């Protein structure tokens, strides 16, 4: 059985006899003259078992065993005491300090080899168990990270997509360019309401609004890019494609407007004048994860996002305004009114806008 053995003894003759006996049995042997010498060697070399005397200068065997007891790296390393001190008190002290066995001098080679073989086998099993536990710990940490990531993803993508990402990986979340439809909405009158109302009332209104319209977004395959207090940014056709992103956005917009209209009546009875304005645009954007380790978001960046936000900014409460491209994709399924061209800051050309009055 091949193993690395450290012999700790101040007597050169004892070290030589042990080295010869163990070397003939195939063990790799290293020698130390006392406890301090052993500690230095143990600091840079690994062993399977340590054989130590008790009575040595500078640091005796007791001191070495005490050091082992306080060193986490050495706790799994078996120590066998080979000593001429054949007193029960010494044997008990060594066992208390963690010695695996206590053999008297002169040693019996057959018994010593048997003890060393048992210790080496025990250490290897301990090492294997430690490596297994380490591997299991790493796997558990990976799974915990996956669960945390899945829970995070559920905040801005549909549950179906989150499950798919957990199974297939997150390659689709890497930065890419795609044509998307963007819906931007916020509550008209919210700033004045927030300035004159108690924080608890403001949070109650936001909670009611988000709870009412949030589930609708996932039902329409939308991705929530961000909440902006009283509003939100939602886009369609990414990170998974959908058949009719413009229609999904318009249909969602109508449902959000109608549901918020019901809430507006309740808020009005509480003295709050709040209505929802919605802007929808279509165009290319760069989509992907942004953030840092432990906190990332999936979002879209591009002119289309800014355009949807600006259209929302001019939409009166209770109205849904869309660009001509969005309107062209859904005009046979909606009742709409042309509002002509509108100039927006940061947009080089006038944008034809349509109001979506209702679904046909």
Residue (of 161, 334, 152) closest to 252 by Cα position: 334
Domain carrying residue 307? 168-359
In this predicted model, which residue has the larger pLDDT, 83 or 310?
Answer: 310
Q: For residue range 231-289, what is the model confidence (pLDDT) as tens digits?
A: 899 999 988 888 899 999 999 999 999 999 999 999 999 999 999 999 999 999 998 87
What is the average per-residue pLDDT within 334-346? 94
Say yes or no: 173 and 237 in one domain. yes
Q: For residue range 86-112, what is the model confidence (pLDDT) as tens digits?
A: 788 888 889 888 888 898 888 888 888
104 CB-near residues (< 8 Å, 6+ apart) = 82, 83, 84, 86
What's the CATH number where 260 sits?
3.30.70.1230
Q: What is the tally of structural domains in the chain?
A: 2
Q: Indicate the SS3 state at residue 344.
A: coil
Q: Indicate the SS3 state at residue 44.
A: coil
Q: Indicate the SS3 state at residue 192.
A: helix
As a whole number of angstroms, the distance between CA 313 and CA 345 comes to 12
Neighbours of 107 (CB within 10 A): 19
Domain boundary at 74, 109, 131, which? 131
As a whole number of angstroms, the distance between CA 122 and CA 80 comes to 13
* The pLDDT of residue 267: 94
Domain boundary at 107, 131, 155, which? 131
Domain boundary at 105, 131, 157, which? 131
Say yes or no: 21 and 67 in one domain. yes
The label of the residue with tokens 């509003």 reads 231
Say yes or no: 190 and 68 in one domain. no
Say yes or no: 179 and 290 in one domain. yes
Say yes or no: 41 and 174 in one domain. no
As a whole number of angstroms, the distance between CA 167 and CA 150 comes to 10
Query: Peptide bond preceding 67: is omega within 30 degrees of 0, i.e. cis?
Result: no
Burial track 21-50 (b if 16+ CB lie within 10 A, e otherwise) = bbeebebebbbbbbbbbbbebbeeeebbbb
- How confident is residue 330, by pLDDT bands cut at 50, 70 and 90? very high
Backbone angles phi, psi at 288, to 5 degrees: 160, 180
* The pLDDT of residue 345: 87
The label of the residue with tokens 């048992």 reads 118
Tell me the pairing of strands 351-359 and 334-342. antiparallel
Q: Considering the domain boundaries, does residue 223 fall inside one?
A: yes
Q: Considering the domain boundaries, does residue 141 fall inside one?
A: no
As a whole number of angstroms, the distance between CA 314 and CA 307 comes to 11
Q: Considering the domain boundaries, does residue 284 fall inside one?
A: yes
Do the beta carbons of residue 250 and residue 234 sit within 8 Å? no
Instruction: Judge whether residue 162 has pLDDT over 80.
Output: no
Say yes or no: 95 and 191 in one domain. no
pTM beyond 0.75: the answer is no
The label of the residue with tokens 């000593």 reads 83
* The pLDDT of residue 171: 66
Instruction: Judge whether residue 164 has pLDDT over 70.
Output: no
In percent, the amount of the chain with pLDDT more than 90 equals 54
Q: For residue range 35-72, what is the model confidence (pLDDT) as tens digits?
A: 999 999 999 998 999 999 999 999 999 999 999 888 88
As a whole number of angstroms, the distance between CA 273 and CA 296 comes to 35
Under the phi-then-psi rule, with left for phi > 0, alpha for psi from -120 to 50, and beta for the rest, what region is 77?
beta
Say yes or no: 206 and 350 in one domain. yes
Say yes or no: 115 and 177 in one domain. no
């Amino acid at each position: 059985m091949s193993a690395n053995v450290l012999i700790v003894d101040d007597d050169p003759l004892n070290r030589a006899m042990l080295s010869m006996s163990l070397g003939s049995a195939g063990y790799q042997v290293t020698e130390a003259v006392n406890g301090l010498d052993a500690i230095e060697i143990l600091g840079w070399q690994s062993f399977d078992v340590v054989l130590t005397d008790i009575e040595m200068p500078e640091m005796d065997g007791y001191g070495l065993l005490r050091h082992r007891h306080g060193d986490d790296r050495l706790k799994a390393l078996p120590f066998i005491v080979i000593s001429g001190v054949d007193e029960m008190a010494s044997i008990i002290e060594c066992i208390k300090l963690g010695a695996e066995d206590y053999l008297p001098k002169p040693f019996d080679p057959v018994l010593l080899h048997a003890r060393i073989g048992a210790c080496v086998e025990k250490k290897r099993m301990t090492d294997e168990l430690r490596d297994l536990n380490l591997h299991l710990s790493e796997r558990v940490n990976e799974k915990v990270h996956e669960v945390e990531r899945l829970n995070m993803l559920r905040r801005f993508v549909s549950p179906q997509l989150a499950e798919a990402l957990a199974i297939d990986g997150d390659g689709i979340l890497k930065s890419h360019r795609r044509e998307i439809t963007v819906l931007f909405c916020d509550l008209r009158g919210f700033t004045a309401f927030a300035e004159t109302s108690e924080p608890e009332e403001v949070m109650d209104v936001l909670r009611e609004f988000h709870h009412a319209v949030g589930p609708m977004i996932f039902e329409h395959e939308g991705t929530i890019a961000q909440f902006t207090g009283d509003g939100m940014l939602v886009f369609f056709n990414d990170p998974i494609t959908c058949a009719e992103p413009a229609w999904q956005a318009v249909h969602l917009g109508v449902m959000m407007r109608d549901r918020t209209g019901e809430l507006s009546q309740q808020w009005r009875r509480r003295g709050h004048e709040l209505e929802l304005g919605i802007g929808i645009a279509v165009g290319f954007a760069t989509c992907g994860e942004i953030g840092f380790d432990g906190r990332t978001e999936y979002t879209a960046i591009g002119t289309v996002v800014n355009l949807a936000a600006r259209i929302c900014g001019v939409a009166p409460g209770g109205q849904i305004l869309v660009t001509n491209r969005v309107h062209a994709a859904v005009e046979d399924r909606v009742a709409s009114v042309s509002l002509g061209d509108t100039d927006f800051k940061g947009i080089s050309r006038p944008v034809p806008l349509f109001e979506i009055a209702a679904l046909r």
